[in-house]
Structure formats: C-alpha cells, structure tokens
Amino acid sequence: MKDISERYRIRFELGSGRLGKVYLAKDLDSGRNVALKLFSAEALEDPENFRSLDQSVCVLIRYYQKRHQIIARFPNVDHAG
C-alpha cells in the first residue's frame, strides 16, 4: 500500500478515466475509507479539466443532499509533487 500526502493510504484502484485514476483509500486522520481521485500530469495541463471537476463536485453534493440528506464531505484538495 502507498501513502499519499501522509494523510491517505491507497488500498486499491477503483477505476480510471480521462483525467486520472480513482482509488479506495483510508483517511489516516479519521480512519474512514474514502474515494481518492488522482489526476494525471497531462490532465493538469488543461484548465478545462478543473471546470469539469467543479461541476462533478456540485452534482455529487446535490445528489447526496437529496438522496441521503447528508452533505458529501470533501475534506481537502491537495496536490503532491
């Protein structure tokens, strides 16, 4: 298992796509399992990808508020390297 930013421990890959890969990881601060999306270097070169991410986060928040009546938690956005 690989540690990311001294906060997350990657358990395994959940999937990959145009922007990068998504992993199941453990948040070492809270002990919770989280989905962690890591962008590829190529994806970070295009500012349009950040607008796409913002839209995705807004959709997720609305979904969880309506379906589960909780707010999805996005504890931090970080980049390494």
Question: What would the mean pLDDT of 25-54 be, rounded to a whole number?
Answer: 83
Q: Is residue 72 part of a domain?
A: no
pLDDT in tens, 41-79: 888 788 887 777 777 777 776 766 666 554 445 555 555
Q: Say if 75 falls within a structural domain.
A: no
Q: Is residue 16 one of the residues assigned to a domain?
A: yes
48 lies in some domain: yes
Instruction: Report yes or no on 49 lying in a domain.
Output: yes
pLDDT in tens, 7-18: 899 999 999 988
Residue with more model confidence, 39 or 62: 39
Give the range of the structural domain holding residue 34, as residue numbers without chain letter. Answer: 3-67
Amino acid found at 31: G
Number of domains in the chain: 1
CATH number of the domain enclosing 21: 3.30.200.20
Q: In the chain, helix, strand, coil percent, each to 5?
A: 30, 30, 40
pLDDT of residue 81: 46
User: What is 21-50 written as a DSSP string?
Assistant: EEEEEEETTT--EEEEEEE-HHHHT-THHH
User: What pTM was computed for the model?
Assistant: 0.62
